[in-house]
Structure 1
Amino acid sequence: MQQASQRIDKWLWYARVTKSRTLAQKLAMSGHVRLNKEKVTTAKQGIKLGDVLTIALPRRLLVYKVLDLGARRGPASEAQLLYEDLSPPPPPKDEGKPEQRDRGTGRPTKRDRRQLIRLKQDTPGDGF
Structure 2
Amino acid sequence: MGLTLPPGTVGTSELGEGGIRALEGELEALCVSVDDVFPRPASRENLRAMVRGLLSEVPRKNMWQLAEFAGHPSPDRLQGFLAKAAWDADELRDRVRTFAVAALADQDAVLIADETGDLKKGT
- Structure number with higher relative contact order (C-alpha < 8 Å, ≥ 6 residues apart): 2
Answer whether TM exceeds 0.5 for this pair.
no
Q: Which band: TM-score by shorter chain?
A: under 0.3
Higher helix share: 2
Q: Which has the larger radius of gyration?
A: 1
